[in-house]
Structure 1
Amino acid sequence: MKGLLIVSGLGILAMLAEIFKFKKLLFPLVLLGILGAYVANFMEWNNGFNIAVFDNMIAFDKVALAFSGVILATAFFWFIMANDYFEDQPTIVDHFSLVLFALTGALMLTAFKNMTTLFLGIEIMSIPLYVLAASKKKDVKSNEAGFKYLIMGSFASGFLLFGIALVYGASGSFDLMEIRAKISEMGSAMPTFFYAGIIMMLIAMLFKVSAAPFHFCAPDVYQGSPTVIIALMSTVVK
Structure 2
Amino acid sequence: MITLIIIAVLPIVLLYLGLFKANKLLLPVTIVGLLLGLASAVYQWNNGAVPIYHNMMLFDNFSIAFSATAIVSTLLILMLSKGYFERISEHVAEYLAIILFSLAGIIVMVSYYNLSMLFIGIEIMSVSLYILAGIDKKSFASNEASLKYFLMGAFSTGFLLFGITLIYGATGSFDLEAIRDWAVAHPRGINPLFHTGIVLMIIGLCFKVGAAPFHFWTPDVYEGSPTLITAFMSTVVKTAGFAAFLRLFAISFAPLADFWMPTLLVITVLTLFVGNLTALYQHSFKRMLAFSSISHAGYLLFAIVALSAGSANAIFIYATAYSVASIIAFGVLLLVQQQLGSDSFESFNGLSKRNPFLAAVLTIAMLSLAGIPLTAGFMGKFLMFSGAMSRFQIWLVIIAVINAIISIYYYFRVIIAMYFHTAEHDELNVPAYYQIVLGISALATLVIGIFPALISNLI
Normalised to the residue count of structure 2, the TM-score between the two structures is 0.50
3-state SS in 1 of match to 2:12: helix
Partner Cα distance (1:138, 1:150) in 2: 18
Letter matched to residue 231 of structure 1: A
Matches within 5 A, 1:26-105: 26-45=26-45, 47-87=46-86, 89-105=89-105
Pairs within 5 Å for 1:186-197: 186-189=186-189, 191-197=191-197
Could you tell me how far apart the structure 2 residues matched to 1:20 and 1:51 are? 42
Report if aligned partners of 1:170, 1:190 keep a CA contact under 8 Å in 2.
no
Q: Is the CA contact (8 Å cut-off) linking 1:56 and 1:114 kept in structure 2?
A: yes
Between stretches 119-128 and 213-222, larger displacement belongs to 213-222
Off by >3 Å, runs of 4+ in structure 1:
none
1:184 counterpart residue number: 184
Unaligned runs of 5+ in 2: 239-459
SS at match of 1:82: coil
Measure how far apart 1:48 and its partner are: 2.1
Q: Which residue of 2 aligns with 1:204?
A: 204
Q: How far did residue 57 of structure 1 move?
A: 0.5
Deviation digits for residues 63-105 of structure 1 (CA, Å, limit 9, x no counterpart): 1111111111111101101223124541211110000000001
Superposed CA offset, 1:96-133 (max 9, x none) = 00000000011111110100000000000110100110
Identical columns (%): 43
Shift of 1:52: 2.8
Specify which structure has the bigger relative contact order, considering alpha-carbon pairs within 8 angstroms and separated by 6 or more residues: 1
Task: Give distance in 1, aligned partners of 2:151 and 2:236.
Answer: 21
Partner-residue secondary structure (3-state), 1:136: coil
Pair 1:187–1:193, CA change in 2 (3 A): same
Looking at CA atoms only, which structure, 1 or 2, has the larger radius of gyration?
2
| Structure 1 unaligned blocks of 5 or more | none
- Name the aligned partner's letter for residue 22 of structure 1: A
For 1:35 and 1:87, how far apart are their aligned partners in 2? Answer: 24
CA distance change for structure 1 residues 49 and 37 in 2, over 3 Å: closer, same or farther? farther
What letter matches 1:62 in structure 2?
A: N
- Separation in structure 2 between the aligned mates of residue 76 and residue 51 of structure 1, nearest angstrom: 28
Q: What RMSD over aligned residues (CA atoms) do the two structures have, in Å?
A: 1.3
- Confirm or deny that 1:144 pairs with 2:174: no
TM-score w.r.t. length of structure 1: 0.95
